[in-house]
Chains A and B, each alone.
Chain A
Amino acid sequence: MRTRSIAATGLGFQLFRHALLGLGAFLMLAPFVIMISVSLKPSGEIFAPEFTLLPKQWHAWQNYTDAFTKQPLARYILNGFIVTGSIFACQLLTALPCAYALAKLRWRGRETMFMLVLLGLLIPPQVTAIPLYILLWQLGLLNTYAAIILPSTISVFGIFLMRQFFLTVPDDLINAARLDGLGEFAIVWRIMMPTAMPAVIAFGVLSLVWNWNEFFWPLIVVQSEHLATPPLGVVFFANAEAGTNYGPLMAAATAITAPLVIAFLAAQRWFIDGVTMTAVK
């Protein structure tokens, strides 16, 4: 009775639900299917007048070998891990202590600091591009890993998210740690961070997704192939192949999309909760 009042359970309605959602899911997944399908085919079949899901003549090995040898694709993917890993480490190092000070300590600058964080949340990342480019140019850092990483070392979103979570941690836990002789710094890393693991993971997932896929900023500051992040690498690839060699190009696209998609399928809950957590707070 109770469930009936929430969800309509009529057979007709269920058919209607599956028909619409099935069509929707088909359209959402179709690009992935096309990508993988094309990455398995020789170019003759790719430009054949009718589309088939599986190739008549398997060309997967050649396409993926081409993708990894014609361009340093493995290097792009490695760069992706280096950049996203460094960025998240920096964001965590700067955000957690600040979030703790905002949530749990009484100090004179607290309101001002929180205002700055809220102000920072309003500014889209592209707004700072020109001045930061000039700054990095002055420092002689253009076209380095540092140029990609530095502007993202602070995440006001991370500070905000962690502060909200820290507010729910009972003060008694912190007082007990102080009585045990722990300093404020140790409290942040040994008490607050383990307690806030769900929020840290949500923050990590969002940071990873955002920075792995980020294209605008690397496009501006990186010219060298060996520094390219995955999205930039795919563009180098597309330009080098002049947009005609779709087999290897789709193989490359599959390879750089795979890490996040696999991570998502393995840990769906964390991804969806992470995104949702940003909304509820």
Chain B
Amino acid sequence: MSDLALAAPRGLARPAKARAGETAEQLAAWVLAGPAFALIWILLLGPTVAVFVLSFTDWTFGMPEIAWAGLENYREMAGDAVFWKTLRNTLTYVAFVVPLSVFLGLGAAILIEAGESLRGFYRAAFFLPVVSTLLAMALVFQFAFHPTVGAINLTLAFVGIPTTDWLKNPNTALFALGVIGIWQAIGLSMVLFIAGLKAIPKDLYEAAAVDGADGAFERFRRVTWPMLGPAMLFVVTITAIRAFQVFDTVQVLTDGGPNKATNVLLFQMYQEGFSFLRSAYAAALTVVFLGFVLLVTVIQVRLQERNTHYG
């Protein structure tokens, strides 16, 4: 009875009703989305625009005067050997951390999913670093890297591999920080790959078996690898963006040293902006940092578009 009563007027009066309720819906939507709209501008997009603008000025934090400086900050950057070293360090760090995190995460995901026993334990063990406080763990690594009593050198010496003071040696410090970065990133790429593996239809493996792909390697090459394409692209992107953001370990363990060997973009920006209070120059460094992060995203989108043609 009531069902009929409701259904009939709804069906008949729909156009008129929609028009009448339209203004109310518009209004409700703006009230509901208004706070988020305002906050996105005030806290996110506005400040991003402000960073751009600030990078073309000469402002020092706390100064009463501000003047346009054109490209002066960028010119200073281009002429500064420290900036180029910082850029090289950042790119080296990313190039070291990303492939290893991605492939070790992929290997862990495949091996974990290839059997039943201890699956939950392995997954938890690999994922634990992702949720733990990087800063606290960095101090543990500092102890583990200790030249004489650290677990790392004790182990290496036991096996007979030459040791050094990893965090104080300019040739190894950046890679020592990279090891911490990889240790934390593996778990993330592992769970993302596990999700990717689970999304592969099971009958594809059966079809491949019918086609004569018998060995584990053949199955991997012909089914798993191509089907993981989208997941791979996503994991590489997210790992690369996170690697560009390296800061915590540099700040507590090496302070950018020794001899600027671990100076990275964000750390340089932090020092210029908040230690030396050179806000405008730090803003220009931020723009460079943002440029690299956006470049990673642009590459991802391009590759995604190319892949969707057959994917």
A interface residues (Cβ-Cβ under 8 A, vs B)? 2, 5-9, 13-14, 17-18, 20-21, 24-25, 27-32, 34-35, 38, 46-51, 93-95, 97-98, 100-102, 105-110, 113, 116-117, 119-120, 122-124, 126-135, 150-151, 153-154, 156, 159, 179, 183-185, 188, 209, 212-213, 215-216, 219-220, 230-231, 234-235, 238, 243, 246, 249-250, 252-254, 256-257, 260-261, 263-265, 268, 271-272, 275-276, 279-280
* CB of B26 within 8 Å of the partner chain: yes
Contact B245 A126 (CB under 8 A): yes
Contact B131 A156 (CB under 8 A): no
Given known pairs A6-B202, A154-B44, A265-B124, the reply for A31 and B183 (CB within 8 Å) is yes
The number of residues on chain B lying at the interface, defined by a beta carbon within 8 Å of a beta carbon of chain A, is 103
Contact A235 B252 (CB under 8 A): yes
Given known pairs A102-B33, A250-B140, A257-B133, the reply for A21 and B286 (CB within 8 Å) is no
Contact A253 B137 (CB under 8 A): yes
Contact B54 A130 (CB under 8 A): yes
Contact B33 A32 (CB under 8 A): no
Q: How far is the CA of A272 from the CA of B43 in the complex (A)?
A: 29
A123 to chain B, nearest CB (A): 5
A-B Cβ contacts below 8 A, count: 295
Residue of B115, B133, B192, B273 with highest tally of chain A CB at under 10 A:
B133
Q: How far is the CA of A110 from the CA of B44 in the complex (A)?
A: 19
* CB of B299 within 8 Å of the partner chain: no
Q: Chain B residues with Cβ under 8 A from A14's Cβ?
A: 115, 117
Q: How far is the CA of A249 from the CA of B146 in the complex (A)?
A: 15
Contact A5 B209 (CB under 8 A): yes
Given known pairs A117-B40, A154-B43, the reply for A8 and B114 (CB within 8 Å) is yes
Q: How far is the CA of A257 from the CA of B129 in the complex (A)?
A: 10
Given known pairs A32-B132, A120-B40, A272-B123, the reply for A279 and B192 (CB within 8 Å) is yes
Residue of A6, A28, A113 with highest tally of chain B CB at under 10 A:
A28
Mask of B100-143 contacts with A, CB within 8 angstroms, 1/0: 00001001100111111110111111111111111111011111
Contact A48 B149 (CB under 8 A): yes
Q: Which 4 interchain pairs have the tightest Cβ spacing?
A: A98-B36, A107-B29, A131-B47, A128-B47
A207 to chain B, nearest CB (A): 13
- Those of B142-197 within 8 Å (CB) of chain A: 142-144, 148-149, 151, 154, 183, 186-188, 191-192, 194-195
A6 to chain B, nearest CB (A): 6
B interface residues (Cβ-Cβ under 8 A, vs A)? 6, 22, 25-26, 28-33, 35-37, 39-41, 43-48, 50-51, 54, 61, 104, 107-108, 111-118, 120-137, 139-144, 148-149, 151, 154, 183, 186-188, 191-192, 194-195, 199, 202, 205-206, 209, 216, 231, 234, 238, 241, 244-245, 247-248, 251-252, 266, 269-270, 273-274, 279, 282-283, 286, 289-290, 293-294, 297
Q: How far is the CA of A216 from the CA of B247 in the complex (A)?
A: 7
Contact B51 A220 (CB under 8 A): no
Contact B205 A220 (CB under 8 A): no
- Checking A2, A120, A128, A235 against B135 with a beta-carbon cut-off of 8 angstroms, the contacting residue is A235
Contact B132 A25 (CB under 8 A): no
Q: How far is the CA of A133 from the CA of B160 in the complex (A)?
A: 50
- Checking B125, B128, B274, B297 against A220 with a beta-carbon cut-off of 8 angstroms, the contacting residue is B274
- Checking A24, A132, A185 against B43 with a beta-carbon cut-off of 8 angstroms, the contacting residue is A132
Q: Chain A residues with Cβ under 8 A from B25's Cβ?
A: 105-107
- Checking A7, A25, A108, A132 against B115 with a beta-carbon cut-off of 8 angstroms, the contacting residue is A7
Given known pairs A28-B128, A253-B140, A276-B192, the reply for A179 and B6 (CB within 8 Å) is yes
Contact A126 B36 (CB under 8 A): no
Contact A31 B140 (CB under 8 A): yes
Residue of A nearest to B107 (CB): A20
A238 to chain B, nearest CB (A): 6
